[in-house]
C-alpha cells in the first residue's frame, strides 16, 4: 500500500475538567498529521494530489482554529464568552480530537477512493495521540 501524510497546524483553547494541571482554560498550537493510503496510484501516479488536503484544512479552519474546544456536559463554563465553540462530546483530549478528525477526513477523502489510515494530534513537540481503525 502507498501512503501520503500531510502536516497541518492550528491554535485552539480547551480545559480538561478533573485533570489537575489542565483544569484552567489554556491553549495549544496543535499539530495534525493525516495519513491516507491506497493500494493503487491514480492517473497521475499519486495516492492523491496534496492540494486536496485543502478540504481538511478548511474543516479545521471552520471548526477548530482559534476555537474553544468544549466537553459541554462537564465544562461548567459560561460558553457565551467564547465566539467559536466546538463540542467534542467528551473531554477535549488529543485522543478524542484525533478520532473526530479521522471521521471528518473519512467523509472528505474516502469518496475519492483513498483510505484514511491515521490521524495524529500533537499538543506539544513531544506529546501526541493517534487514532486509526
Ligand atoms: Zn491542554
Average pLDDT rounded to a whole number, residues 103-120: 97
State residue 72's pLDDT score.
73
What is the whole-number distance in angstroms between the Cα of residue 26 and the centre of ligand 1?
A: 6
> What does the pLDDT average to over 26-35?
97
Q: What would the CATH number be for the domain defined by 2-131?
A: 3.30.479.10
Residue 47 CA to ligand 1 center (angstroms) comes to: 34
Measured distance CA(55)–CA(64) in Å, rounded: 14
Which range has the top average pLDDT, 20-29, 64-73, 118-127?
118-127
For the stretch 64-76, pLDDT in tens is 999 999 987 667 7
Task: Please say whether the beta carbons of 17 and 28 come within 8 A.
Answer: no
For 45-91, what is each residue's pLDDT tens digit? 999 999 999 999 999 999 999 999 998 766 777 878 889 999 998 89
Every domain of the chain and the residues it spans? 2-131
Q: How far is the CA of 108 from the centre of ligand 1 (A)?
A: 27
Q: How many angstroms separate the alpha carbon of residue 111 from the centre of ligand 1?
A: 33
Kindly state the percentage of the chain with pLDDT values over 90: 83
Instruction: Report the candidate in 70, 88, 60, 63 with the shortest Cα–Cα distance to residue 25.
Output: 70
DSSP-assigned letters across all residues of 18-49 = TSGGG-S-EEEEEEEEEEEEESS--TTSSSS-
| Residue of 81 and 29 predicted with greater confidence | 29
Amino acid at each position: 500500500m502507498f501512503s501520503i501524510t500531510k502536516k497541518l497546524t492550528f491554535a485552539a483553547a480547551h480545559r480538561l475538567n478533573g485533570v489537575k494541571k489542565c483544569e484552567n482554560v489554556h491553549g495549544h498550537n496543535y499539530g495534525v498529521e493525516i495519513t491516507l493510503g491506497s493500494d493503487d496510484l491514480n492517473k497521475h501516479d499519486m495516492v492523491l494530489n496534496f492540494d486536496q488536503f485543502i478540504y481538511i484544512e478548511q474543516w479545521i479552519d471552520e471548526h477548530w482554529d482559534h476555537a474553544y474546544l468544549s466537553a459541554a456536559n462537564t465544562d461548567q463554563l459560561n460558553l457565551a464568552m467564547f465566539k467559536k465553540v466546538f463540542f467534542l462530546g467528551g473531554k477535549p483530549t488529543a485522543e478524542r480530537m484525533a478520532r473526530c478528525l479521522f471521521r471528518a477526513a473519512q467523509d472528505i477523502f474516502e469518496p475519492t477512493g483513498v483510505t484514511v489510515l491515521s490521524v495524529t494530534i500533537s499538543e506539544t513537540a513531544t506529546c501526541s495521540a493517534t487514532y486509526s481503525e
